[in-house]
Amino acid sequence: MTAKSTAKKPDASSKQPAKATPATPGTAGKRNRRETVSDDDPFELERQQQTSKVVPLLRKPVKGKMFRVVCPMCDTPGFASPKVAGKEVKCRNPECLAPVFLVPDTDAENRKTTEEPKTDANQKSKLPLILAIVASVTVIGGVYFYFTSTVPDGSELAKPFDNPIIKNQSTKSMLPDKDKPIVNPLANGGQQTQSSNNNQKEPVSPEKAQKSALKSMVELSRTRDNRSKPFSRRLAAEAYAISGDLAGSREQIDRIDAVEPVLPFYKIFPLIEIGWLQLKQKDTVGLKKTLDETIELSKKIPEYGGRDSLDLVSRLSAFWVAAGNESAAEDLTSKYQAENSLAQLSAYLQIAHETNHYDFESLIDLHRRWNAPQSVATTLILISHNYDEAALNWAALSPDAMDRTEAVTQWSLAVLKQVVNQNKIPDIGLIQPAEMKLSATGNALMYARCARELATFKKPDSAKVFLSKSKSFLENVPVPAPMKLGSLKEIYTLKLPASAPLELTSQAYVQIACAEAELGEQTEANRFLKNAVQAIQATAPSLTAVQSKQNESSNFNFKEQVKDALNLDSNDRINRAIRDYRKQLNSLKSAAENRSILLVSLLSQAAKTELSASVWNIAQESQQAADVNLKEALLDSSLPATILDANQKNNDLTTQIKKALNDKIPALQKEDLLAQQTFFLVKNGKPEQAAHEINQSDLKKAWKGQLSLKLLSVLINESKFEQAIQFVTAIKDQVLREDMLNSIGAIAAIQNKVSEVSTVLESNVYTPTERISGYLGLVSGLQIAKARPVSPEPTQQPVDKL
């Protein structure tokens, strides 16, 4: 999923029996230099505390010292007396990071005691303590190993309740609320029950919590079982910068170069946070230094760096634009821009991180994705830092009409949301500066989306004003007519129109139709919905019409038809014309198939609103159309299932659809089906089973990541924090768990649940890297809470886009 995922070094326990040491040793890697305690060496303190009563291993066997011992850290062999079994020895490798280790006594159970053990009144044996530590480490290591390594891909949750942690939490989740013990400290809004008041954790001041989080991040960054040490140091550096400790951030930035693998571009992330602080403080000297550093380091961004590169593009571009380096930002975005699911996921996460908007339930739309997600994310990040004018200018830079329209539209929506949150009247003049950036069709789409957003905010009067403005831009725009295939000669010379402008027009129409329906104007809604369908039908002929023409080209007299239609006089020209004509039909067939896909997507979008009945009528009419140019096989697509899924409470419509199709309803698309299943499981208190469905699905990881973040927000918005933790724990993807813990940390801090989330992050259920990510979210949330009062509980649920 991301280039941040580096190959994990194999654990030594997979090669030899577990050593009876407090920590499971791993395979040593070559290092350029010895690290110290302050330079990522977690063993230095242990090394300093080792006693001198250890047996040094010899390089070669000698008489009486033929017993071979292999160091579990560096795999260096050594020799000593057999009596060292069960005792501590010292590795002969001077560069070994953990030179002192305990030699296991494998024959202890088979030996019989020949004399009574000697007791020392002044000194107690350390063996019981060592065995207790070994047992604890073995249990913890086993749990961690189960979660991360032992089960083949896709089956680690085939039996989700076999995992003791999930099993216990799930069993308790089935109890009535009054009998349910608190499994997660975030449960019940962070309030303990009366029976646990004696153990209730004292509130922690934000300053103390922040200091503790930063300290924990540094300590965890030193551990060997990090997914990526440079990544951990990067997160620590970001956290220090966000907290305002620039010196601490710089120190952690320097550590990025001290660990492997060498990823110098990771230093850009914390430098961006430092740059925003310098912009706010108007530190021109410091800002110039930071800006120069980011420009130089940007040359080392991997061209195919996966999530790392994508995450960096929007954040760095926004900083550069704010700092006055717009041209460099434009070059950067054009080089790394993508429109796949991974780019979309990255955009959502960076928007959340930089704009402090962690409500993925309302942010993520699973059924649509931006054409230029990094450009949109850059626009929203600039707005969050109060660079509204620069954000609008940036949004309008794209030469592509659709990309430009979606970025400017998101700018308008963000401006309106700011005004509504401030309890001000959303005047139409607020977004008028955006009109000159778009075409008439683009403006129609923008104002229609704003009208829908205002309807969601329960401001129907303002919504009607914006909707009226939207329709005014289309008064002089003719409604596209469906394409019709003509004569053989017309088909032979036919050139398809550009699809993008018609797709933009169709989106403008469908947004207006949805807004009309949401405001109760069903007649107008139906009219604009039909206009939207016609705009798609104008992009290409229908598949039925093309197939009809292909059948005609197989007739025995087709050669004569070509000769007469094209007025040809030789067999060579006729045969060449037949080949060209059939090639033209193949191209038209591809365009027709794309038309069907676009039409199903458009109507599926409308079916999730109050237009579902109208969508069903259009699907029936197109299936039964006598004109082959208007005939669409919509009833054979996933559209009927989508309508049923969106209207489960509409019994009349459900009965009508099932009767028309004789209960033979094509399945939902795989994405819609997974969303339907997991949403149902989450709503019914089975988050770990929802995670299991996501884990075993063969859909793209990035899309599953968007779904997972959306489901996480569904749980958090309903104050089901215990189940949110269960859901995160059961998710297989380690990088996704990091992203989700980051969100939970931020949300908990914003909602004043610092002590509760700290308890979760202090546990050993998650890997060090996951915990570091959670602490970064916690530090971010503390800064958000410090800047503004705690948000009140939502009075209404966000619009469901599942």
| pLDDT at residue 650, rounded to an integer | 80
DSSP output for 505-541: HHHHHHHHHHHHHHTT-HHHHHHHHHHHHHHHHTSS-
pLDDT digits (tens, 9 = 90+) for 306-345: 888 999 999 999 999 999 999 999 999 988 888 889 999 9
Q: Is the pLDDT of residue 38 over 60?
A: no
Bridge partners of residue 89, in order along the sequence = 55, 101
Provide the phi-psi class of 685: left if phi over 0, else alpha when psi is between -120 and 50, else beta. left
| pLDDT at residue 612, rounded to an integer | 93
Q: Indicate the range of 114-123, 484-493, 533-542, 565-574 predicted with least confidence.
A: 114-123
CB 407 within 8 A of CB 398: yes
**CA angle (194 as vertex; 193, 200 as ends), nearest 5:** 70
High-pLDDT (> 90) share of the chain, %: 57
Q: Is the pLDDT of residue 181 over 70?
A: no
- Helix residue spans in 206-283 (DSSP H): 206-221, 229-242, 246-256, 268-281
| pLDDT at residue 224, rounded to an integer | 82
- Helix residue spans in 684-767 (DSSP H): 687-696, 701-717, 721-730, 734-750, 754-762
How many angstroms separate the CA atoms of 287 and 349, rounded?
26
Tokens of 202: 């004292």
pLDDT digits (tens, 9 = 90+) for 495-532: 999 999 999 999 999 999 999 999 999 999 999 999 99
High-pLDDT (> 70) share of the chain, %: 79
How many angstroms separate the CA atoms of 557 and 781, rounded?
76
Tokens of 56: 């040094």
Higher-confidence residue of 107 and 487: namely: 487
Higher-confidence residue of 25 and 783: namely: 783
pLDDT digits (tens, 9 = 90+) for 55-73: 888 888 877 787 888 887 7
Q: Is the pLDDT of residue 798 over 70?
A: no
What three-state secondary structure class fits 78?
A: strand
* pTM of the predicted protein model: 0.73
Q: Is the pLDDT of residue 16 over 50?
A: no
Tokens of 431: 């977004």
Pairing of strands 88-90, 55-56: parallel
Higher-confidence residue of 362 and 164: namely: 362
| pLDDT at residue 136, rounded to an integer | 52
Q: Is the pLDDT of residue 192 over 80?
A: no
DSSP output for 591-609: HHHHHHHHHHHHHHHHHTT
Higher-confidence residue of 180 and 235: namely: 235
Q: Is the pLDDT of residue 426 over 70?
A: yes
Higher-confidence residue of 790 and 570: namely: 570
| pLDDT at residue 132, rounded to an integer | 53
Bridge partners of residue 70, in order along the sequence = 77
Q: Is the pLDDT of residue 188 over 50?
A: no
| pLDDT at residue 137, rounded to an integer | 46
Q: Is the pLDDT of residue 226 over 90?
A: no
Mean pLDDT value across residues 45-64 = 66
Q: Is the pLDDT of residue 26 over 60?
A: no
CB 513 within 8 A of CB 507: no
CB 209 within 8 A of CB 752: no
| pLDDT at residue 739, rounded to an integer | 95
Q: Is the pLDDT of residue 3 over 70?
A: no
pLDDT digits (tens, 9 = 90+) for 672-697: 999 999 999 999 999 999 999 999 99
pLDDT confidence tier of residue 765, bands split at 50, 70 and 90:
confident
pLDDT digits (tens, 9 = 90+) for 212-222: 999 999 999 99
pLDDT confidence tier of residue 207, bands split at 50, 70 and 90:
confident
| pLDDT at residue 48, rounded to an integer | 43
- When the pLDDT of each residue in the chain is averaged and rounded to a whole number, the result is 81
CB 734 within 8 A of CB 770: yes
HSE-up of 703 (CA within 13 Å, CB side)?
Answer: 17
Sign for the pseudo-dihedral over CA of 190, 195, 198, 199: negative
